[in-house]
Chains A and B, each alone.
Chain A
Amino acid sequence: MSKGSFLSASIGRKFLMSITGLFLVTFIIVHLTLNLFLIFDDSGDLFNLAAHFMATNPLIKIMEPVLAIGFGVHILWSIIITVQNMRARPVGYNKTSQSVNSTWASRNMFILGGLIFVFLGIHLYAFWWKMKFAGDPLLTHTTVMQGGVPVEMENAYNLVATMFKQSLFYSITHILGGVLLGLHITHGFWSAFQTIGLNNHLWRKRLFVLANIIGWIFAIGFSIIPLYFMIKF
């Protein structure tokens, strides 16, 4: 298989988008599941245990750079594909009525993706950067019982909960981030299967419904966390 020609072909490029996209979806499912511990345990122990597990597990350590590559490829290729697609129509239309034949999300995946990228920057700075490298006064140490043994760990719950309680900016950007991601997924999820070729007239409807369900779960799941802290405290 000649990889050069495959990756420069239109279908090859989109294949890469689909694979990385689906990989990122699996990451987000794990991410959302663990983050929902934030609102199901007000003591914060459950979330701290999860965060501690993620920070110390060797498999997760291996997956971290893989995830970064996944994001990198998905973002870079989206730019290449978008530029290529814009070049295909040098003279545009004076009048178009695209809303009658396609969904808004499907036409604006690059814009949605770009906004999610901006959110990702804010999000990584707010939490990942502080937990991993910079540290933060809010990251106090706490002791949680793990299988009957007391283990000392960083109080990640305190950082997240305090940020959402105190900063309207972080709360609102995180609510928006969740909604934008949900919209992106409503098209991206089923579209990925279509591009890989795993679709037909029957599965198309099922995948479309599934994409919408996952999109809604992501949108509601992620935005409910800052909302919970804004309203409850």
Chain B
Amino acid sequence: MADITLKKIYVKVWRQNSAKEKGRFETYEVENISQGSSFLEMLDILNDKLIREGKDPIAFDHDCREGICGMCSLYINGRAHGPDRDITTCQLHMRKFNEGETITIEPWRAGAFPVIKDLIVDRTAFEKIQQAGGFVSVNTGGIPDGNAIPIGYDDAEEAMDAASCIGCGACVATCKNSSAMLFVAAKVSQLAKLPQGKVEAKRRARNMVTKMDELGFGGCTNTGACELECPKGISISHIARLNREYLVAKLAE
């Protein structure tokens, strides 16, 4: 079955030459887009057109285009990663849009994620939070034999669920407070549930939260929006764990 072709759509994009310059919205017409094409392919086609016209193509982040690298972003029609659940922008298809529609595309908006160019934002802040404690530095020896360290099924599952975070920043982008709590919670949880990570649990929670505050992310007000917009569906139950870990760490001081 052939895909339907969208004869004409309008794309309203945020254009900003550099971090220092002021940005603005520009609307472009895009013709003959198959609904079977991905959202980023549509942007590729638009960029191809812009280049042929001698204009500056739209800068946007992308890499693996299979929903695993966490590079693509985009706030599409008022939602992080566009109008679909549990996907990244690269997994979004044009079948989610209609003929003649105006699609609004904005970069992630957060003080901690400054715009570099057009739709690309600087997400180094996440790296800095990770560097503050999102790792295991105790010597855990060589590769252990299978099942040598018993870990309960539920613990293993929860740790793996948290570890599925790709660090794309959709949680920050979608949060009304630009809070990074879901990201930090996932990075703390993936280690807190495992024996290797428990040794540094207190220091980790304390340092990562301190760094998060320092970088200017907002606080969590438990709206739960991040969980629904997270491409990996990471649960805000991890945020409860982070709060617990942090409070325990502070009490122990």
Contact = CB atoms under 8 A, between A and B. Distances in A.
A88 B243 CA distance: 20
B137 interface: no
Contact of A89 (B25, B77, B110, B210): B110
B201 to A, nearest CB: 13
Given A85-B219, A89-B110, A12 B75 contact: no
Contacts of A142: none
Contacts, number: 144
Contact of A1 (B111, B112, B253): B253
B217 to A, nearest CB: 6
B217 A88 contact: yes
Main SS class of interface, A: helix
A88 B177 contact: yes
B177 A85 contact: yes
A197 B241 CA distance: 6
B54 to A, nearest CB: 27
Interface in A1-55: 1-2, 5-6, 9-15
Contacts of B25: 94
B151 interface: no
Given A10-B212, A94-B25, A94-B106, A102 B224 contact: yes
Interface of A: 1-2, 5-6, 9-15, 81, 84-98, 100-103, 106-107, 109, 187, 190-191, 193-201, 204
6 contacts: A9-B209, A11-B242, A88-B218, A100-B228, A102-B223, A197-B243
Interface of B: 14, 25, 75, 77-79, 83, 104, 106, 109-112, 174, 176-179, 209-210, 212-213, 216-225, 228-229, 235-237, 239-247, 250-253
Given A199-B237, A200-B240, 19 more contacts: A10-B220, A11-B246, A13-B219, A88-B110, A88-B178, A93-B109, A95-B77, A96-B79, A101-B229, A102-B228, A103-B223, A106-B222, A106-B223, A194-B222, A194-B236, A195-B220, A197-B243, A199-B240, A204-B236
